[in-house]
Amino acid sequence: MLQPLTEHKTIVGQVEKVNLAGIFLPVTTPFDPVTGDIDTVAFRANLRCWFRSPIRGILIAGSTGESVFLDDDERSTLIEAARQIAPGEAVVIAGTGSESTHHTIRLTRRAANAGADVVLVSPPSYYKGAMTAAVLTRHFKTVADASPVPVVVYQVPTHLSTLNLPTDLIEELSRHPNITGIKDSRGRLELVGELIEHSDEDFQVMVGNGALLYAGLETGAVGGIVATGLIAPAGAVEISVAFQEGRSADAARIQERIAPVHQQIVSGMGVPGVKAALDLLGLRGGIPRPPLGPISGRRIDEIREILTSAELLAATDA
């Protein structure tokens, strides 16, 4: 049973800040092609491949992970499986946003119990007209008060069914001791700059657009949660490393090479395109969960060309 919120508000002062600098991958969720259940064997296999690159951590049950199609038990199962594979220093973030504050808190506590270090909370948007700044502020603060782990606000890509969170709302939330950052997936660099300028000094802004990773770091973001990194993990990490080491030309060159992966596959084709790209690269992509359908054969050829141009797939494989 979900315990009263007042019993958990004191936890805020006990939660340690988590450093979110670096590259996080919003991992996909493989499904068994016969049963349609989550495929934890394939999930673990993918994680082993991704963790060969020095990524900072992963996000489970984000948009790329088909979060809206996962039930509560499946989310916990994925987090537990990830904890078995992830290196000790890796940070596991779990998406726990839901339409009600009550359910969001339930998901958040379950995620923490399953091993998540941080939770990513998207805004409730079904009753969009009622989601005023005051309502959203109360929602996020109530979740953060009840959460046993730090909370990151998720500005979902605005082409999806979501809300555009105003900067002054994030500015207020950034002062909450258990709201540690935001993932901004709007793909607008000027808004990233606004968030950095107006939020609390300790608030960590992360970009969610793989084509703007280098520019976001230059603007002051601490890192990114980028689906481009699922397809080009070494490149995404090297952008961050090169930036930190002052090798701006190298970072810019890699960004230019892999930007089309975001623009044409991640953004242009969505989850079906990302999963098809993973299949071409030897990982376990598979089909999305219905009602999403797989990518067409013609588009698979297009993905192959994009990967080849980005030097992620050898031309002889095409």
Instruction: Assign 56 to helix, strand or coil.
Output: coil
Token pair in block for residue 214:
């280098």
d(Cα 318, Cα 316) in Å, to the nearest integer?
5
Tokens of 163: 């809300």
Taking the CA atoms of 281, 285, 286 and 288 in sequence, report the sign of the dihedral they define.
Answer: negative
Strand, helix or coil for residue 262: helix
d(CA 50, CA 46): 6
Cα 34 versus chain centre, distance: 27
Nearest Cα residue to 35 out of 290, 296, 304 = 290
Q: How many whole angstroms separate alpha carbon 181 and alpha carbon 170?
A: 9
DSSP state for residue 290 in the 8-state scheme = T
Secondary structure, 3-state, 58-82: EEECCCCCCHHHCCHHHHHHHHHHH
**Phi, psi of 152, rounded to the nearest 5 degrees:** -115, 130
Q: What one-character DSSP code corresponds to residue 191?
A: H
Active site residue 275: no
35 alpha-carbon distance from chain centroid: 26
Select from 141, 127, 145 the least CA-distant residue to 9.
Answer: 145
**What are the DSSP E strand ranges found in 131-264?**
151-155, 179-184, 204-207, 223-225
User: Which residue is catalytic, options 9, 17, 141, 183?
Assistant: 183
Which active-site residues does the annotation give? 183
